[in-house]
Structure 1
Amino acid sequence: MEKIKFVADYQINTSKKIIYPYLSTASGLSQWFADDVVINEDKVYNFIYDGENHYARPVIMRTHHHVKFEFFDPSEEEEDGTDKTFIEFKLDENELTQTFYLRVVEYGDAYDEQEQRSIWEGLIANLKEIIGG
């Protein structure tokens, strides 16, 4: 299946210190992003949604700035250089307006872009409701 890259920016009315745990911890992610998130002893995140397990490794964890998870199938031998599915969260500030933005980058199996945008708008609305932003 073809993969596409989805990128969207969302204005968040909160500080990086408040939002970062919701992007980087199992308890934070399970409140808005997945039904549940479990981290095993090897630091592998298991995102559980729609009754399915989705395993990912954190490849970037830059405190209060940037989080990136690469997904993988634990039943398959991993190959370097393969086209890996990932999700990335970046926190940026517009210095002129002092406004914070959450940039979501999702690279994965092709979906209808409008459907993808709708899914993310719902997820971000949940996140904003939780953090009050």
Structure 2
Amino acid sequence: MSKIKYELEIPIHASPSMLYQYISSPSSMEEWFADKVNSRGKIMTFEWDGNEEKAEVVIKKADEKIKYKWLESDDDSFFEIKIQVHALTKDVSLIITDFAYEDEIQESKQLWENQIEELKHTIGA
């Protein structure tokens, strides 16, 4: 069974440049995404409850998006966090693209929503 790609759009009241720091900097990501985050070149190591996962940064565009590819994944799955600014209203949203097995999509979406709520709390948005 292969994973299914899904997207979430979550409005957030923050500037794109500040948000970019929180989705790309290891020290900022430790505040909302993982217990511990380290980087060596393009390889990021995320730690949750003592378990490590490594991902490669495959796309990085300042104030726009960052895309990570899990190193231990045997498929083409990735996760991407994109900062979208509405042309007319200037409202800012995070667009999350991720993959999960069909029976885990709702749980995965809920996890992302909880993580983004933690980010909002951290930055006061």
Question: Percent of counterpart pairs with the same letter?
Answer: 31
* SS of the residue 2:113 aligns to: helix
CA distance in 2, matches of 1:34, 1:11: 21
TM-score of the aligned structures, taking structure 1 as reference length? 0.85
CA distance in 2, matches of 1:37, 1:84: 23
* Correspondence for 1:79: none
CA drift of 1:111 comes to 4.5
Q: Is the deviation greater in 100-109 or in 87-96? A: 100-109
CA distance in 2, matches of 1:117, 1:3: 14
* Correspondence for 1:17: 17
CA distance in 2, matches of 1:84, 1:113: 17
CA distance in 1, matches of 2:75, 2:104: 20
Q: Which amino acid aligns with 1:105?
A: T
Picking from 63, 85, 90, the partner of 2:82 is 90
CA drift of 1:2 comes to 2.2
* SS of the residue 1:38 aligns to: strand
Is 1:27 the counterpart of 2:27? The answer is yes
CA distance in 2, matches of 1:109, 1:99: 31
Q: Is the deviation greater in 17-26 or in 1-10? A: 1-10
CA drift of 1:43 comes to 2.9
* SS of the residue 1:48 aligns to: strand
C-alpha contact 1:6 1:107 (8 A) present in aligned 2: yes
Structure with greater Cα Rg:
1
